[in-house]
Amino acid sequence: MFGVGTPAMVAAAEKAGTLGSLPLGDLTYEKCVDIIRATKAITTQPFAANIFVYDTPALTDELKHQYKTTRSFLEQLAAQHGLEVTLPDIESIKVAGYREQVDALIAENCRIVSFTFGNLDAESVRRLKQNGACLIGTCTTIEEALILEQSGIDLICVQGIEAGGHRGTFTPGDIPSIGGMSLLSQVFDKVKRPLIYAGGLYDAKTILAARTLGAKGFQIGSMLLGSTESALQDFEKQRLRQAQERDIILTNSFSGRYARGLRNIYTAAVDNTPHILPYPYQNKLTGPLRTAAKAKQNAGFVSIWAGQSLNGYPAISTTDILQQLIDQLNQSPV
Ligand SMILES: Cc1cc2nc3c(=O)[nH]c(=O)nc-3n(C[C@H](O)[C@H](O)[C@H](O)COP(=O)(O)O)c2cc1C
């Protein structure tokens, strides 16, 4: 969980005997190396290193123009709500391609590599596998699952519409739609690779349902948002705990890709307007706005990602949250 998951969360997940996942998003080579090393320093078990795999859209004149107008729209919106912030101009935006992250993962000998937003190119698959890596790709449609399988990806994470955070869809402009139950069951019928399910899991019965539909592994996201190892600030955790079901929406206004999280002043003002650039430009543009909002503890302008299963977001360690889930499963009659 980029922005929320930490090396400490990875270590805590491993204490419960589960596989921790280290979010590297679209960080540069150097940052990836630093975070991987910080994680290795506090874990003894293997962990999954997770990256965003996408190709950056070309910077056309039209996009540059849209960037300029979006930038001034967002600065004005923020100012109206007491947030004085200067957003970056397009020339100062740096986008690290995922291939440099692949270099970092190979240099650091990462043996489990998971990814979302798209599929790795054949050369990256070859290089990572030559280095002994097990690859986990994310799908949000049956078609994407088949593409991952055909590319030799070892395990497939099936992400249901319920999931918190960004949709792993390969086609970012599409409004995501298929529900987790329909998706998992059909992917299981059509692909041979072992499946991990992600989306809405919060107790033994939801995990058992995913197992019945064909999952061999279970990915837990939102349940860990309030944990002691979560990088969310206290005001964000408090906001989450107050959330009602209708507060959880899909929005592309923060990053240019659809993600599930809490609605707020920002999403109400920007969703469904022309002021949404393609990923990663929107994401880079709104980054300093979200940082300024965090500094002021202003929940109206931060992106708090969360899935559809409101779960109380326990304020205990990741180890205890996961151990309690495992205990529930072990005690379950099925
Ligand atoms: C705050 C947050 C950040 C996330 N960041 C990532 C990420 O960096 N990489 C990724 O593959 N998935 C990411 N996800 C999606 C999760 O991997 C997973 O699909 C989702 O959390 C499962 O649904 P749940 O939130 O209902 O448990 C994120 C989810 C959340 C809630």
Ligand 1: residue of 225, 305, 325 to mutate (most ligand atoms within 8 A of CB) is 305
Query: Angle 213-216-222 (CA atoms, 0-180°, nearest 5)?
Result: 85
Number of domains the chain is built from: 2
Query: Angle 87-89-94 (CA atoms, 0-180°, nearest 5)?
Result: 100
User: Does one domain contain both 256 and 199?
Assistant: no
Tens of pLDDT, residue by residue over 25-63, are: 999 999 999 999 999 999 989 999 999 999 999 999 999
Q: Which two structure tokens, joined as six digits, stand for 131?
A: 């280095």
User: Does one domain contain both 130 and 213?
Assistant: yes
Question: 115 in ligand 1 pocket by Cβ < 6 Å?
Answer: no
CA distance 124 to 324: 38
Question: Whose alpha carbon is nearest atom 13 of ligand 1?
Answer: 1
Q: Which two structure tokens, joined as six digits, stand for 291?
A: 């940082």
Kindly give the interhelix angle for 61-80 and 281-295, rounded to the nearest 10 degrees.
20
In a domain, 329, yes or no: no
Domain membership of residue 44 as a residue range = 1-56+95-228
Question: 219 in ligand 1 pocket by Cβ < 6 Å?
Answer: yes
Query: How confident is the model at residue 213, as a pLDDT?
Result: 98
User: Does one domain contain both 167 and 222?
Assistant: yes
Terminal C-alpha separation, the chain: 30
Q: Considering only 23-32, 62-71, 87-96, 264-273, which range has the smallest mean pLDDT?
A: 87-96
User: Does one domain contain both 282 and 142?
Assistant: no
Distance 305 CA to ligand 1 centre (A): 8
Question: 136 in ligand 1 pocket by Cβ < 6 Å?
Answer: no
The answer to whether residues 230 and 215 touch, using CB atoms and an 8 Å cutoff, is no
Question: 307 in ligand 1 pocket by Cβ < 6 Å?
Answer: yes
Query: How confident is the model at residue 52, as a pLDDT?
Result: 98
Please give the share of the chain, as a percent, with pLDDT higher than 90. 95
Tens of pLDDT, residue by residue over 288-327, are: 999 999 999 999 999 999 999 999 999 999 999 999 999 9
Query: How confident is the model at residue 96, as a pLDDT?
Result: 79
Residue 175 has pLDDT above 90, yes or no: no
User: Does one domain contain both 145 and 288?
Assistant: no
Give counts: helices (H), strands (E), the chain: 12, 10
User: Does one domain contain both 193 and 285?
Assistant: no
Give every CB contact of residue 96 below 8 A, 6+ residues apart in sequence. 26, 27, 28, 29
CA distance 206 to 221: 13
Average pLDDT, the chain: 96
Eight-state DSSP code of residue 191 = -
Tens of pLDDT, residue by residue over 231-261, are: 999 999 999 999 999 999 999 999 999 999 9
Tens of pLDDT, residue by residue over 272-299, are: 999 999 999 999 999 999 999 999 999 9
CA distance 332 to 208: 9
The answer to whether residues 220 and 267 touch, using CB atoms and an 8 Å cutoff, is no
Residue 209 has pLDDT above 90, yes or no: yes
Question: Whose alpha carbon is nearest atom 3 of ligand 1?
Answer: 1
The dihedral through the CA atoms of 58, 64, 69, 71 has a sign that is: positive
In a domain, 139, yes or no: yes
Q: Which two structure tokens, joined as six digits, stand for 126?
A: 């070859």
pLDDT band at 95 (very low <50, low <70, confident <90, very high): confident
Question: Whose alpha carbon is nearest atom 19 of ligand 1?
Answer: 198
